[in-house]
């Protein structure tokens, strides 16, 4: 199959320098992408050839580092994973991730996202000393772990989540999916009290199950299913406690 | 001015391992130009080597066999005592990573799964599907969160102060607001990663500029074996995204345009699982002979593995192919070509990660111990980062606890901060000149064309001749934007000068080494020469230009042999 002839396209990119600009504005660039170029490659070429003052985060360019989450034609996604030719002929509109403050152009302040991540104690809490030759655990027991650990913490789900928009205290899908990564891990034995810290309206009960997170996740982590998983675990353990058994 | 006992520069796997290995009584911080989880370690795919012997076919494996394979793979340039240390420590390191929660793939029965990799005598490579780097980096970051490690995210180290051969601190550039900040540290661990993006065709993340290596070099730290650059055989044609060696470890084959497994001409026993230098050269040769496709690539065929195995063992590779090449490896072979992948050379350190400068330690890809010699085996880089990162943290801690480190370095750090401040101000004052990003792209093209897989005196000299003009162009470059926050142009101005030093070191080292060894192939000197060249290149920056010395290789019990596979 022959690639279509390269065509000049318009990229409308949101520009904002909070210390100098009164408000954000769009700047239009004309650029001719190569076949199969990603939006990230187009932005980089625009920066390298036309406007080195354009700021955006990037690193791996292959959808594993999580740096380049942004809004492209209204959809929250990774710029490196979005091919320009998948977007149709009209202008490509590029904006930063929603729900986070703009620091410069497409760069947002990720600190609220990382704060939520740290809040869920995102590390394995095994009970007991290290087994001499490693844990014995089957692939089948780790199925949910394998799915949720593909999360690259790009914050696309956080940017797309309507609950985050209205409640800035809400932990958001990625942090709760990270928690599920551990609660579904047979090697983890975190105490009930630790789990109880998300048993709140801004924790797992904040989710209103519209699952925008599942729809935008570029790695198919399905964070919403993780949130439901933590809810089930919490409910089951609470019930066990009420029945007088220590979970 | 900030102050720490121990400052780790770089938040990738080696940097995090150093922070976790540091003595908890010390005040330690990790400073990195990107958030640690954006580090290039995240992109490592295929696995990490350790002679666990979990595969029935690997029962006879041992750390000694692992060491031998590593040394042979290095074309006998690895220091054998260091390679032995690496391979011995590999085994407990895997169990520690497992205890920390790394989601390794498993064999039936629940042990850590292992797959064959290039140059390895047994299935020895532990893996988490084809996302091993991501799983390890996230796991170590999680442990750092657990231990409450201090992180200074998105700060670039822009200056390094060495006084009387001692290293009291650094000057950092805060990317978020453009501020220049001095930091005192009683010991430093550099874990700044490789220099892949000195080349145009590279598997590396865009951020891998190698400026940390250049910064150390400028400050007087010697570099070792810079001419040894690994080219990975299988990268996606055009974009040069890595297609893991694990794809061949699982049974993938390489085909030329006659549909023939051409590796039988180059490595009849090991075939596709010969070491990377050999496979990369074989592919390049096939393409140059006209046996490739479009004069660019050959094919990596996974179709016979079947859909289930591809989905289970190589899901990330399938995703890369679907997304970036528009093909499904279940039905279609993958077009691949070699590209720069790894920096064997780096800051000269010994097996305790100590450099020539007291208090300055280095680990991971920016360093050269040397455990990889002239060619690194797949699965040994994550291992080196984990093992030597930890050793660096421990060595640096011991240095501080034993009373090392300067007492009153504020004045020198202040001077370095002012120098940088003036430099940035001078750049900001220019209202016309070169675009720094374009100058960078010119350097990348020079390196890919002149210091690639096949080298000879003429092309290396042509490359070297370009360096002064690039330096001059970069010094004429100006800044388009006026912002202080996330001004990535300024970062590039700061890093580019150091990149030129790195590029020059690669070219010069390659020009001087008149033999062929591992990844360094000289068409005008096509054989290994153990009489004159079984030695490390040591290169030191001086006011009169680079000074070269050579140091013998440490040989314990593996005398150099002919390297056949």
- The DSSP code sequence of B496-525 is HHHHHHHHHHHHHHHHH--S-BTTBEETTB
- The DSSP code sequence of A57-122 is --S-SSSSS---EEEETTEEEETTT-BGGGG-SSPEEEEPPTTS-EEETTEE--HHHHHHHHHT--
Q: What pLDDT, on the 0 to 100 scale, is given for residue A162?
A: 98
Task: Give the integer Cα–Cα distance in Å for B357 and B161.
Answer: 11
Nearest Cα neighbor of B539 from B265, B80, B280, B225 is B225
Nearest Cα residue in chain A from B204: A60
B64's CB contacts (< 8 A; 6+ apart) are B84, B87
User: Do the Cβ atoms of B37 and B137 come closer than 8 Å?
Assistant: yes
What are the domain boundaries of chain A?
9-108, 111-242
Task: Give the integer Cα–Cα distance in Å for A203 and B321.
Answer: 37
Closest partner CB to A118 (pick from B145, B435, B492): B145
Nearest Cα neighbor of A131 from A186, A64, A204, A174 is A186
User: Do the Cβ atoms of A54 and A17 come closer than 8 Å?
Assistant: no
State the pTM of this model: 0.97
Q: Per CATH, which fold does B419-542 belong to? A: Methane Monooxygenase Hydroxylase; Chain G, domain 1 (1.20.58)
A233's CB contacts (< 8 A; 6+ apart) are A183, A195
Please answer yes or no on whether B207 and A58 come within 8 Å at the CB atom. yes
Q: Report, as an integer, the average pLDDT of B388-406.
A: 92
Nearest Cα neighbor of B180 from B496, B427, B419 is B419
Residue B394: is its pLDDT beyond 60?
Answer: yes
Q: Which of B34, B92, B98 to mutate to test binding with chain A, by most A CBs within 10 Å of its CB?
A: B98
What is the pLDDT confidence band of residue B483, given thresholds at 50, 70 and 90? confident
Q: What pLDDT, on the 0 to 100 scale, is given for residue B272?
A: 97
Residue B406: is its pLDDT beyond 90?
Answer: no
Looking at every residue in chain A, the average pLDDT score rounds to: 95
Burial A104-116 (b: 16+ CB within 10 A, else e): bbbbbebebbbeb
pLDDT by residue (tens digit) across B363-374?
999 999 999 999
Q: Give A243 to chain B, closest Cα distance, Å.
A: 31
User: Do the Cβ atoms of B499 and B204 come closer than 8 Å?
Assistant: no
Q: Which of B204, B488, B493, B494 to mutate to test binding with chain A, by most A CBs within 10 Å of its CB?
A: B488
Residue A179: is its pLDDT beyond 60?
Answer: yes
Q: Is A130 on the interface with B (CB under 8 A)?
A: yes
B283's CB contacts (< 8 A; 6+ apart) are B233, B254, B292, B298, B336, B337, B338
Q: Is A101 on the interface with B (CB under 8 A)?
A: no
B40 is a catalytic site residue: no
Q: How far is CA A60 from CA B90, B125, B207, B545, in A?
A: 27, 23, 8, 34
What is the pLDDT confidence band of residue A182, given thresholds at 50, 70 and 90? very high
Please answer yes or no on whether B108 and A138 come within 8 Å at the CB atom. yes
Q: Tell me the CATH architecture of domain A9-108.
A: Roll (3.10)
Q: A14 - beta bridge partners?
A: A26
Q: Is A115 on the interface with B (CB under 8 A)?
A: no
Q: How far is CA B29 from CA A66, A226, B404, in A?
A: 23, 33, 18
Task: Give the integer Cα–Cα distance in Å for B384 and B369.
Answer: 10
Task: Give the integer Cα–Cα distance in Å for B72 and B82.
Answer: 14
Please answer yes or no on whether A55 and B487 come within 8 Å at the CB atom. yes
Q: Give A247 to chain B, closest Cα distance, Å.
A: 22
Task: Give the integer Cα–Cα distance in Å for B229 and B454.
Answer: 11
Task: Name the catalytic one among B184, B248, B313, B318.
Answer: B248
Q: Which of A18, A42, A64, A112 to mutate to test binding with chain B, by most B CBs within 10 Å of its CB?
A: A64
Instruction: Tell me the HSE value of B363 on the side-chain side, using a 13 A CA sphere.
Output: 36
Residue A112: is its pLDDT beyond 50?
Answer: yes
Q: Which residues of A touch B435 (CB under 8 A)?
A: 48-49, 52
Q: Are both B231-341 and B419-542 of the same fold?
A: no
> H or E element: which one contains B91?
helix B80-99
User: Do the Cβ atoms of B155 and B358 come closer than 8 Å?
Assistant: no
Q: Which of A1, A4, A60 to mutate to test binding with chain B, by most B CBs within 10 Å of its CB?
A: A60
**How does DSSP classify residue B455?**
E
Q: Report, as an integer, the average pLDDT of B515-519.
A: 98
3-class DSSP string for A63-80: CCCCCCEEEECCEEEECC
What is the pLDDT confidence band of residue A1, given thresholds at 50, 70 and 90? very low
Nearest Cα residue in chain B from A46: B437
Q: Give B194 to chain A, closest Cα distance, Å.
A: 13
Q: B48 - beta bridge partners?
A: B126
| % of chain B exceeding 70 in pLDDT | 99
Backbone angles phi, psi at B161, to 5 degrees: -105, 115
Per-residue tokens: A10 = 């318009």
Q: What pLDDT, on the 0 to 100 scale, is given for residue A5?
A: 65
Please answer yes or no on whether B480 and A51 come within 8 Å at the CB atom. yes
Q: Which residue has the higher pLDDT, A240 or A175?
A: A175
User: Do the Cβ atoms of A208 and A163 come closer than 8 Å?
Assistant: yes
Task: Give the integer Cα–Cα distance in Å for B87 and B61.
Answer: 11
Q: How far is CA B540 from CA B218, B355, B367, B544, B548, in A?
A: 9, 12, 15, 10, 7
Nearest Cα neighbor of B378 from B199, B76, B93, B123 is B123
Q: Which residues of B touch A110 (CB under 8 A)?
A: 35
Per-residue tokens: B234 = 């299988």
In CATH terms, the superfamily for domain A111-242 is Alpha-helical ferredoxin (1.10.1060.10)
Looking at every residue in chain B, the average pLDDT score rounds to: 96
**How does DSSP classify residue B326?**
S
Q: Which residues of B touch A83 (CB under 8 A)?
A: 323-324
Q: Which residues of B touch A49 (CB under 8 A)?
A: 435, 437-438
Three-point CA angle B197, B199, B201, nearest 5°: 100
Using DSSP bridges, classify how beta strands B28-32 and B150-153 pair: parallel, antiparallel or unpaired.
parallel
Q: Is A104 on the interface with B (CB under 8 A)?
A: yes
What is the pLDDT confidence band of residue B407, given thresholds at 50, 70 and 90? low
What are the domain boundaries of chain B?
231-341, 419-542
Q: B511 - beta bridge partners?
A: none
Least confident of B227-231, B362-366, B412-416, B518-522: B412-416
Reported ipTM: 0.97
User: Do the Cβ atoms of B393 and B399 come closer than 8 Å?
Assistant: no
pLDDT by residue (tens digit) across B154-203?
999 999 988 777 777 899 999 999 999 999 999 999 999 999 999 999 99
Please answer yes or no on whether B94 and A134 come within 8 Å at the CB atom. yes
| % of chain A exceeding 90 in pLDDT | 92
Q: Could you identify the residue written with the tokens 């006209």?
A: B290
Task: Give the integer Cα–Cα distance in Å for B431 and B47.
Answer: 49
Backbone angles phi, psi at B164, to 5 degrees: 50, 40
End-to-end CA distance of chain B: 55
Q: Report, as an integer, the average pLDDT of B376-382.
A: 97
Q: Give B102 to chain A, closest Cα distance, Å.
A: 9
Nearest Cα residue in chain A from B320: A62
Q: Per CATH, which fold does B231-341 belong to? A: Flavocytochrome C3; Chain A, domain 1 (3.90.700)
Least confident of A1-15, A29-43, A208-222, B73-87: A1-15
Q: Give A182 to chain B, closest Cα distance, Å.
A: 9
Residue B249: is its pLDDT beyond 70?
Answer: yes
Task: Name the catalytic one among B138, B232, B281, B493.
Answer: B232
Residue B408: is its pLDDT beyond 60?
Answer: no
Per-residue tokens: A106 = 């497409």
pLDDT by residue (tens digit) across B37-84?
999 999 999 999 999 999 999 999 999 999 999 999 999 999 999 999
Q: Is A37 on the interface with B (CB under 8 A)?
A: no
The burial of B480, by beta-carbon neighbours within 10 Å (0-12 exposed, 13-18 middle, 19 or more buried), is given as middle
Closest partner CB to B489 (pick from A52, A107, A188): A52
Q: Report, as an integer, the average pLDDT of B240-250.
A: 95
User: Do the Cβ atoms of B443 and B202 come closer than 8 Å?
Assistant: no
User: Do the Cβ atoms of B350 and B357 come closer than 8 Å?
Assistant: no
B131 is a catalytic site residue: no
Chain A 44-63, residues with CB within 8 Å of chain B CB atoms: 44, 47-49, 51-55, 57-63
Please answer yes or no on whether B486 and A133 come within 8 Å at the CB atom. no
What is the pLDDT confidence band of residue B409, given thresholds at 50, 70 and 90? confident
Q: What pLDDT, on the 0 to 100 scale, is given for residue A246?
A: 60
pLDDT by residue (tens digit) across B415-464?
999 999 999 999 999 988 899 999 999 999 999 999 999 999 999 999 99
Task: Give the integer Cα–Cα distance in Å for A150 and A166.
Answer: 28
Q: B153 - beta bridge partners?
A: B32
Q: Which residues of B touch A81 (CB under 8 A)?
A: 323
Please answer yes or no on whether B37 and A47 come within 8 Å at the CB atom. no
Nearest Cα neighbor of B536 from B557, B513, B514 is B513
Long-range contacts of A196-199 (CB under 8 A, 24+ apart): A196/A234, A197/A119, A197/A120, A198/A120, A198/A171, A198/A230, A198/A234, A199/A234, A199/A238
Q: Which residues of B touch A62 (CB under 8 A)?
A: 43, 241-242, 320, 324
pLDDT by residue (tens digit) across B312-337?
999 999 999 999 999 999 999 999 99
Q: Is A31 on the interface with B (CB under 8 A)?
A: no
Burial B309-328 (b: 16+ CB within 10 A, else e): ebeebbbbbbbbbebbbeee
Per-residue tokens: B539 = 């290169």
Q: Is A65 on the interface with B (CB under 8 A)?
A: yes
User: Do the Cβ atoms of B131 and A147 come closer than 8 Å?
Assistant: no
Task: Give the integer Cα–Cα distance in Å for B329 and B320.
Answer: 10
Q: Is A150 on the interface with B (CB under 8 A)?
A: yes
Nearest Cα neighbor of B345 from B538, B87, B89 is B538
Q: What pLDDT, on the 0 to 100 scale, is given for residue A2?
A: 42
Closest partner CB to A52 (pick from B43, B142, B480): B480
Nearest Cα residue in chain B from A60: B205
Q: Which of A65, A79, A81 to mutate to test binding with chain B, by most B CBs within 10 Å of its CB?
A: A65
Q: Give B330 to chain A, closest Cα distance, Å.
A: 19
Question: Number of Cβ pairs closer than 8 Å across A and B?
Answer: 177
Please answer yes or no on whether A19 and B483 come within 8 Å at the CB atom. yes
pLDDT by residue (tens digit) across A24-60?
999 999 999 999 999 999 999 999 999 999 999 999 9
């Amino acid at each position: 199959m022959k690639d279509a002839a390269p065509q000049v396209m318009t990229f409308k990119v949101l520009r904002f320098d909070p210390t100098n600009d009164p408000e954000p504005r769009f700047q239009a660039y004309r650029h001719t992408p190569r076949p199969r170029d990603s939006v990230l490659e187009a932005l980089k070429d625009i920066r390298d050839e036309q406007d080195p003052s354009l700021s955006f985060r990037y690193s791996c360019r292959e959808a594993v580092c999580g740096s380049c989450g942004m809004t492209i034609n209204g959809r929250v996604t990774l710029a490196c994973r979005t091919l320009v030719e998948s977007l149709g002929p009209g202008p490509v509109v590029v904006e930063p991730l929603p729900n986070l403050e703009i620091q410069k152009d497409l760069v947002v302040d990720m600190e609220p996202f990382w704060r939520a991540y740290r809040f869920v104690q995102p590390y394995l809490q095994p009970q007991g000393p290290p087994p001499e030759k490693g844990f014995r655990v089957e692939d089948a027991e780790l199925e949910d772990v394998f799915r949720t650990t593909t999360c690259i913490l790009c914050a696309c789900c956080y940017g797309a989540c309507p609950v985050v928009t209205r409640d800035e205290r809400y932990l958001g899908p990625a942090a709760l999916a990270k928690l599920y990564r551990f609660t579904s891990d047979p090697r983890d034995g975190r105490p009930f009290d630790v789990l109880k810290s998300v048993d709140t309206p801004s924790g797992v009960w904040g989710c209103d199950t519209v699952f925008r997170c599942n729809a935008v996740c570029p790695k198919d982590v399905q964070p919403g299913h993780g949130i439901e998983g933590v809810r089930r675990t919490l409910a089951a353990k609470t019930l066990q406690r009420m029945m007088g058994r220590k979970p | 001015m900030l102050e720490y006992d121990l400052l780790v520069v770089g938040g990738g796997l080696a940097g995090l391992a150093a922070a976790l290995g540091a003595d908890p009584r010390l005040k330690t911080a990790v400073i990195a130009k990107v958030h640690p989880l954006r580090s290039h370690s995240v992109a490592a795919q295929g696995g990490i080597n350790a002679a666990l012997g979990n595969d029935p076919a690997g029962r006879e494996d041992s750390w000694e066999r692992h060491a031998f394979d590593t040394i042979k793979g290095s074309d006998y340039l690895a220091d054998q005592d260091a390679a032995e240390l690496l391979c011995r420590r590999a085994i407990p390191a895997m169990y520690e990573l497992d205890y920390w929660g790394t989601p390794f793939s498993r064999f039936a029965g629940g042990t850590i799964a292992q797959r064959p990799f290039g140059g390895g005598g047994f299935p020895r490579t532990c893996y988490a599907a084809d996302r091993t780097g991501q799983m390890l980096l996230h796991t170590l970051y999680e442990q750092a969160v657990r231990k409450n490690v201090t992180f200074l995210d998105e700060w670039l180290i822009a200056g390094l102060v060495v006084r009387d051969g001692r290293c009291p601190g650094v000057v950092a550039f805060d990317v978020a607001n453009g501020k220049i900040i001095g930091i005192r540290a009683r010991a430093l661990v550099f874990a700044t990663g490789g220099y892949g993006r000195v080349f145009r065709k590279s598997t590396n993340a865009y951020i891998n500029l190698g400026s940390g290596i250049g910064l150390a070099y400028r400050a007087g730290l010697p570099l070792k074996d810079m001419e040894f650059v690994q080219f990975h055989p299988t990268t996606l044609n055009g974009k040069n995204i890595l297609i893991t060696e694990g794809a061949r470890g699982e049974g993938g084959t390489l085909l030329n345009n006659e549909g023939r497994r051409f590796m039988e001409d180059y490595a009849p026993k090991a075939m596709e699982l010969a070491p990377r230098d050999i496979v990369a050269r074989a592919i390049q040769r096939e393409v140059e002979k006209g046996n490739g496709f479009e004069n660019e690539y050959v094919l990596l065929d996974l179709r016979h593995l079947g859909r289930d195995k591809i989905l289970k063992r190589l899901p990330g590779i399938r995703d890369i192919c679907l997304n970036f090449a528009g093909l499904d490896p279940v039905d279609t072979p993958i077009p691949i070509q070699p590209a720069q992948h790894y920096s064997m050379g780096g800051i000269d350190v010994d097996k305790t990660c100590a450099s020539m400068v007291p208090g300055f330690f280095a680990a991971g890809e920016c360093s050269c111990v040397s455990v990889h010699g002239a060619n690194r085996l797949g699965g040994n880089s994550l291992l080196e980062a984990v093992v030597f990162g930890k050793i660096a943290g421990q060595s640096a801690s011991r240095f501080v606890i034993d009373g090392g480190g300067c007492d009153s370095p504020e004045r020198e750090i202040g001077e370095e901060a002012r120098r940088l401040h003036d430099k940035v101000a001078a750049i900001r004052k220019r209202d016309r000149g070169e675009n720094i990003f374009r100058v960078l792209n010119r350097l990348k093209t020079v390196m890919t064309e002149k210091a690639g897989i096949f080298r000879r005196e003429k092309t290396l000299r042509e490359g070297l001749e370009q360096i002064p003009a690039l330096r001059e162009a970069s010094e004429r470059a100006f800044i388009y934007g006026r912002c202080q926050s996330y001004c990535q142009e300024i970062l590039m101005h700061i890093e580019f000068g150091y990149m030129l030093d790195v590029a020059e070191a690669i070219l010069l080292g390659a020009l001087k080494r008149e033999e062929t060894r591992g990844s360094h192939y000289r068409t005008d000197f096509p054989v290994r020469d153990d009489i004159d060249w079984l030695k490390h290149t040591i290169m030191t920056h001086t006011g009169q230009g680079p000074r070269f010395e050579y140091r013998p290789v440490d040989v314990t019990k593996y005398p150099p042999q002919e390297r056949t596979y």
